[in-house]
Chain A
Amino acid sequence: MGNDAPYDEMEFATAEALRSTQLERLRWSIAQAARSPHYGKVFAEQGLGPESLRTLDDVRRFPLTEKQALRDSYPFGLLAVPKEEVVRLHHSSGTTGMATAVLHTAGDIKRWADLVARCLHMVGMRKGDVFQNMMTYGLFTGGLGLHYGAEKLGAFVIPMGAGNSRRQIEFMRIFGTTAIHIIPSYAMALLGTSEEMGVDPRDLSLRFAVGGAEPYSEEVRARLQEAWGISFYNCYGLSEMCGPGVAFECPVQQGLHLWEDAYVGEVVDPESGEPVADGEQGELVLTSLTREAMPLIRYRTRDLTSMVPEPCPCGRAHRRLARIRGRTDDMFIVRGVNIFPIQIEQVLMSLPQVGRNYVAVIDREGYADRLTVQVELTAEAFLGDLEQLHSLRERIANALRQEILVRPRVELVEPGSIPRQEGKAVRVIDKRES
């Protein structure tokens, strides 16, 4: 499969060409941002402008933009074009005071679609592919974002949206779906539906899946690839930066290429805001380079990752982000210890006795925090006696303790007894009153 054929001239641009494109576009983006009420005021107060940029590193002279700035300037305070130029709104699910609006011009939508098309082309989507998009359509960017990119490639697009699991499987069979876009936890849940329907997922025409919208572990990816008999590629994006397609995995599957002709990425220490070395974990900060309606400068994504120092064997010079570890907001603290949900997932999904679903519940016992992890057992893991279940429970608790430093209470539950979720999975339920 000629997956390495370039989609456009920037896909295989050299590092030098990328840096000079970035600097040129960054100057444009700063000038464009200055037209919005928010940045106009911030830049004027601090005496900043396109002329502040002599090199790319000068981007650090600009202040970080917090999510709060989007809330405070809701709905139009970050708009850098006349309102009649806006052709599309995407919007967070947040309530009043917490909501964020993301606005697009026709040019923004076109460039976004091109970037997504580059992503899908990179993993082998071509005219003739049947693409079933299982992401929610509407104000959320996951659905429409990939839809436009796939159409641009000439794929046969099925705009299913999320949920309606039996129908998803039926459509995959009837229309010979070759590619899907799906939330990883839903891809796991859909395996159960397929089993119930007596359909072997490996008998479908499916070749690959694109997954995103929630952090998930390499262990889950391995399970999904095995069970569906496909390649599963990671997609990263956030609505503030258009949506999916900001960074995407190539067939090497070792990190996500951040499209550096469209974004400047930095990884910073979440506490100090100072840059961390390549390979070190920190918070991703993104600057848009081509967005007209709502340019964002040094936007704090809250996503934790690291910049992969080595060049990718695929030959693309766009630097790679390591698998997203989670969001700074997802971290929870139990008995003073910081825990990310993905750590729990990694441990559980590496154990063959553990089924497809789990949930962690935090509550209080007296004044102490209590972490309980409910784990679905696989049907094969039950050998018929209580003693074995007891020792399995101990093993899981010990394995978790090694990773998260807190020994949770583990509860084994029956396969399929934890409700399946069709949207982003809720894996942690915090019942503590804050």
Chain B
Amino acid sequence: MIEQLAVFSENKPGKLERITAALAEAGVNIRAMHVASLGEMGVVKMVVDRPEEAYEALRGHGTVRKIPALAVRVPDRPGALHDVTAVLSAGAVNIENASGFPVSDREAILILEVADVEAAEKLLQEAEFHVVDEGGFGRG
């Protein structure tokens, strides 16, 4: 299980810079980042190496929430995502948000937001998937 950070941000020049500056100053490394916006507002989601420090640093600069999520390390090949979704679907777990990115030529990380993170984590571990924490994002 990982703690994603979600920051409420107005969709304006300089807003993202304010967030990255706060993290740089706190010496926090951003492992993954995703920005979604709707008109004047947006949400920046991040996975960082040290979520607690990042949370404290960001609190002084905006509205921030910790969102639990699952990070799964999968082989970077056709069908890998399907293997994961098949397990969750069989366990009646609904995926609310998902993103993914390769970490090397051979492996990728999937980030999944689900309602019951612990139950989903258990299902994936039982199916022998490689569920990682923030420290497990490096090159294989």
A389 near B62: Cβ-Cβ < 8 Å: no
Check: A382 CB closer than 8 A to any chain B CB. yes
Q: How far is the CA of A385 from the CA of B40 in the complex (A)?
A: 15
Partner of B65, one of A383, A390, A393, A413: A383
Q: Which residue of A lies closest to B4 (CB)?
A: A384
B9 near A384: Cβ-Cβ < 8 Å: no
Interface residues in A358-392 (C-beta closer than 8 Å to B): 377, 379, 382-386, 389-390
Q: Which residue of B lies closest to A378 (CB)?
A: B63
B6 near A379: Cβ-Cβ < 8 Å: no
A414 near B10: Cβ-Cβ < 8 Å: yes
User: Total number of A-B contacts with CB less than 8 angstroms?
Assistant: 48
- Number of chain B interface residues as a range: 20 to 34
A386 near B63: Cβ-Cβ < 8 Å: no
A414 near B62: Cβ-Cβ < 8 Å: yes
B42 near A379: Cβ-Cβ < 8 Å: no
The SS class assigned to the A binding surface is: mixed
Q: Tally chain A residues at the interface, Cβ within 8 Å.
A: 16
Check: B135 CB closer than 8 A to any chain A CB. no
Q: Which residue of B lies closest to A390 (CB)?
A: B38
Q: How far is the CA of A411 from the CA of B39 in the complex (A)?
A: 8
Interface residues in B1-59 (C-beta closer than 8 Å to A): 4, 6, 8-10, 36-43, 45
Min CB distance A190 to B, Å, is 20
- Which residues of chain A are near B45, meaning CB under 8 Å? 384
Please list the 10 inter-chain residue pairs (A to B) with the smallest Cβ-Cβ separation, ordered nearest first.
A384-B6, A384-B65, A384-B67, A382-B8, A411-B40, A382-B63, A386-B43, A379-B63, A386-B36, A412-B41
Give me 15 A-to-B residue pairs in the complex whose CB atoms sit less than 8 angstroms apart, sorted by A's number: A377-B63, A382-B65, A384-B6, A384-B43, A384-B67, A385-B96, A386-B37, A386-B41, A386-B42, A389-B43, A390-B38, A411-B39, A411-B40, A412-B40, A414-B63
With A385-B97, A393-B41 given, name 8 new contacts (CB 8 A). Answer: A379-B63, A383-B65, A384-B4, A384-B43, A384-B45, A411-B39, A412-B41, A414-B63
**Residues of B that sit less than 8 Å from A by CB:** 4, 6, 8-10, 36-43, 45, 62-63, 65-67, 96-97
